[in-house]
Amino acid sequence: MSDDPFKIEILRDTYEDHFQTAQQHRHRGEKQDAARAFDQAATALEKLAAATGEDRATDIERLQRAASILRSGERLDDYFKREQQADDDESQGDRERRQPPGSDDDETRKQMESFICETSTTWDDIGGLESVQRDLKRAIALGSIEDTPDAVTATDRILLFGPPGTGKTLLASAVAGSLDASFFQVELGNLLSKWYGESSKQISALFDTAADLSPSVVFLDEVDSLTQSRSSEMNETSRRVLDTLLSELDGVEKEDDAFTLTLAATNTPWALDSAIRSRFPQRIHVPLPDEAAAAEIIRIHTVKGGIGFDGRPVDFVPDSIQVPRTEDPAEAIAKLCVDGGYTGRDLEALCAAAVNNMLYRRNPGLEELVDVSVAKLRNHDLELGLIQPGDVWEAFETTSSSLPEEDVARFYEWSEEYGTGTVAR
């Protein structure tokens, strides 16, 4: 194993450059150029594996196989569709004999299925973010259509980035809910700690399972926990897992009829490794909510949740705030929150506090009920009412923006340099 980190970095960059070149040629239908670049990528990966002491034989074989198929004049898509069809034609008995119940593969599959989350979230449950929703829907639409020219390069990998609490997880859940797809929600940091030493195997198994249960949405939350820039310290385990993830995202051998959309989310996009950034052709900024979005989020957590407002809109905010001409207190409150840099999560917390203040006001002595048995508490009838200006004012005293202004600006700067979605200010 080489102890020269600069040599390793150069070899890694060389491999990634050849691979990206191969993919670009392939998408343009330039089969021979793509085959040559895949061969070059395989050679670079062999040198990289020798320098790092890693076993990349399977990945090297994939690249060589892809080059051979393209060199024969066949499209990779057609080849793998034919192989998938042949595999589908095998009898169930043959598959059971190859992978009997109780085998390691069977157990691994169960572990991966444990990441599946039930979701009934749809686009209607999201407050605002219209431009983000539009960019997501366009990408999904193009990725779902099968018969398109080679020049149409739809993506099945999308990175969502933005401040904490702006709705990235909710967006991923809405994508899965709207598509009626299997929703794999994975925090990569937890995967590393849960199966230490086998994380690379689990990453591969995750994507294999998602393909089997197609249509699927794989949501890699906090992807930055695994993919910090390689200029920083990274142990061999994390590096090996990162390389496996990169290989799965490349997906050379996964071009069949299965629909798997990979969504990743990060609160620190500037810390991402350049290789992982390049694997997500769509990089969409999920910003802080504007006034319309903030008002809708407030309605979702108050009026649409069964608790309305009582009072004029101007009564809910200070006199210094210019309230829009409206009869909706949510819009007045939204104006104040946007000026204060509130995230979607901050807005939810503010609404929860306002609702609780109303409940405490309408139900004096509520805390004394804790001395009663739980069985009786379950049947207790809360006295409900409307949220009054004082409830909101008190909520503002205990709830504030969780994000410094300079951090918000940093997301816009990164979006302008690397983002692909609509930049909304």
User: Is residue 322 over pLDDT 60?
Assistant: yes
* pLDDT(104) > 60: no
Q: Cis bond leading into 215, ω under 30°?
A: yes
Rounded to whole angstroms, the Cα distance separating 320 from 324 reads 13
Q: What share of the chain in percent tops pLDDT 90?
A: 14
Domain 105-288 belongs to what architecture? 3-Layer(aba) Sandwich (3.40)
Please check the confidence at residue 47 and state whether its pLDDT lies above 50. Answer: yes
Question: Which tokens go with 406?
Answer: 């300079």
**The pLDDT of residue 91:** 37
DSSP class of residue 369 equals G
Pairing of the two strands 282-285 and 157-161: parallel
Which tokens hold the place of 322? 């210019």
What pLDDT does 193 receive? 52
Tens digit of each residue's pLDDT (9 = 90 or more) over 249-307? 876 555 556 678 889 999 889 888 788 888 888 899 988 888 888 898 899 899 988 99
Instruction: Tell me the C-alpha distance between 241 and 247, whole Å.
Output: 10
How many Cβ atoms are within 10 Å of 270's Cβ, its own excluded?
Answer: 15
Closest C-alpha among 217, 214, 219 to residue 257: 214
The pLDDT of residue 229 is 47
Q: HSE, CB side, 13 Å, CA atoms: give it for residue 307.
A: 23
Q: Residue 19: in which H helix or E strand, if any?
A: helix 5-27
The confidence score (pLDDT) of residue 2 equals 47
> What band does 99 get if pLDDT is binned at 50, 70 and 90?
very low
Which of the four pLDDT bands, split at 50, 70 and 90, describes residue 79? low
Residue 314 CA, distance from chain mean position: 39
* 229 half-sphere exposure, CB direction, 13 A CA radius: 7
Torsion from C-alpha of 21, 24, 25, 29, nearest 10 degrees: 170
Q: Which CATH architecture has domain 291-402?
A: Orthogonal Bundle (1.10)
Give DSSP secondary structure letters for 201-214: HHHHHHHHHHHHT-
CB 310 within 8 A of CB 388: yes
Look up residue 70 and give its two tokens: 């393209």
Of 333, 385, 332, 345, the residue nearest 363 (C-alpha): 385
Q: What span, in angstroms and rounded, lies between the C-alpha atoms of 159 and 168?
A: 10
263 DSSP β-pair partners? 158, 219
Region of poorest pLDDT, from 244-248, 249-253, 334-338, 369-373:
249-253
Which pair of tokens denotes residue 272? 């991402």
Average pLDDT of the segment spanning 28-36:
81
234 vs 207 pLDDT, higher one: 207
Please write down the long-range contacts of 66-69, taking CB distance under 8 Å and 24 or more positions apart: 66/22, 66/35, 66/38, 66/252, 66/253, 67/34, 67/35, 67/36, 67/38, 67/39, 67/42, 68/35
Task: State residue 424's pLDDT score.
Answer: 47
| 81-94: average pLDDT | 47
The pLDDT tens digits of the residues spanning 55-78 come to: 778 778 878 888 888 888 777 665
Q: Quick check: 324 pLDDT over 50?
A: yes
At residue 361, does pLDDT exceed 90? yes
State how far the Cα of 57 lies from the Cα of 49, in Å rounded to an integer: 9
**pTM, two decimal places:** 0.65
User: What is the pLDDT at residue 95?
Assistant: 42
Quick one: pLDDT band at residue 6, thresholds 50, 70, 90? low
> What is the CB neighbour count within 10 angstroms for residue 125?
16
**Whether residue 345 has pLDDT greater than 90:** no
Residue 310 has pLDDT above 90, yes or no: yes
Rounded distance, CA 424 to CA 407, Å? Answer: 16
Fill in the DSSP letter of residue 159: E
Same fold, 105-288 and 291-402: no
- In whole angstroms, give the CA distance from residue 220 to residue 235: 21
Domain boundaries, the chain: 1-74, 105-288, 291-402
Average pLDDT over residues 201-227: 81
Q: Among the listed ranges 38-47, 98-107, 178-187, 414-423, which one has the minimum average pLDDT value?
A: 98-107
Sorted by sequence, the CB contacts under 8 Å of residue 5 that are 6+ apart come out as none
Residues 74-92, mean pLDDT to the nearest whole number: 52
> Contact at 8 Å (CB) between 261 and 158?
yes
The tokens describing 416, both together, are 């302008």
Other CB atoms closer than 10 Å to residue 113's CB: what's the count? 15
Q: Name, of 2-11, 89-98, 229-238, the range with top average pLDDT.
A: 2-11
Nearest to 259 by CA among 219, 220, 214, 218: 214
